[in-house]
Amino acid sequence: MSGPVVRFAPSPTGLIHIGNARTALLNALWARKNGGTFILRLDDTDRARSEERFAEAIKADLSWLGIAPDRIKRQSARMTRYEETLAKLRELGRVYACYETEEELDRKRKRQLGRGLPPAYDRAALAMSDDDRAKFESEGRKPYWRFKLDHHVAKWNDLVRGEIAIDTASLSDPVVCRADGTWLYSLASVVDDIDMKVTHVVRGEDHITNTAAQLDMFAALGASAPTFAHHNLLTLPGGEGLSKRFGSLSIQSLREAGHEALAVAAVAVLTGTSHAVEPAESLDALAAKIDFGKISHGPARFDPADLDVLTAKTLHAASFAAVADQLGALKVGGGEQFWLAVRGNLVKLAEAAEWWEVVSAPLATKIADADREFCRLAETLLPQEPWSEKVWDEWLAAIKPVANRKGRELFHPLRIALTARENGPELRALLPLIGRARASARLRGETA
Ligand code: GLU
Res 365: pLDDT: 84
User: For ligand 1, atom 6, which residue shows the shortest CA distance?
Assistant: 9
Whether the predicted pLDDT of 245 surpasses 80: no
- CB under 8 Å to 421, separation ≥6 — which residues? 358, 415
Number of residues in the chain: 448
Nearest in space to 245 (alpha carbons), one of 255, 235, 232: 235
8-state DSSP, 199: -
Omega before residue 386 within 30° of 0, cis: yes
What SS3 class is residue 201?
strand
Output the CA 9–ligand 1 centroid distance in Å. Answer: 5
Res 366: pLDDT: 87
Nearest in space to 191 (alpha carbons), one of 73, 366, 16, 350: 73
pTM, full prediction? 0.92
Please state the atom number of ligand 1 nearest to the C-alpha of residue 203. Answer: 8
End-to-end Cα spacing for the chain: 65
pLDDT-based confidence at 1, cuts 50/70/90?
Answer: low
Helices and strands counted in the chain (H then E): 20, 12
Output the CA 266–ligand 1 centroid distance in Å. Answer: 22
405-432 burial code (b ≥16 CB/10 A, e <16)? beeeebeebbbbbbbbeeebbebebbbb
Res 2: pLDDT: 82
Give the span between the Cα atoms of 277 and 272, in whole angstroms. 9
Res 254: pLDDT: 96
Please state the atom number of ligand 1 nearest to the C-alpha of residue 8. Answer: 8
Whether the predicted pLDDT of 159 surpasses 60: yes
* Cβ count near 127 (within 10 Å): 8
The domains found in the chain, sorted by start residue, are 5-76+233-307 (3.40.50.620), 78-231 (3.40.50.620), 318-360 (no CATH), 369-443 (1.10.10)
Q: At CB < 8 A and 24+ separation, what contacts does 379-384 make?
A: 379/439, 379/440, 379/443, 379/444, 382/436, 382/439, 382/440, 382/443, 384/436
133-144 burial code (b ≥16 CB/10 A, e <16)? eeebeeeeeebb
In terms of pLDDT, which residue wins out, 117 or 24? 24
Whether the predicted pLDDT of 434 surpasses 90: yes
Question: Ligand 1 pocket, 185 CB below 6 A?
Answer: yes
Which DSSP helix (H) or strand (E) runs through 156?
strand 153-158
- CB under 8 Å to 284, separation ≥6 — which residues? 32
At residue 25, what is the residue type? L
Output the CA 186–ligand 1 centroid distance in Å. Answer: 9
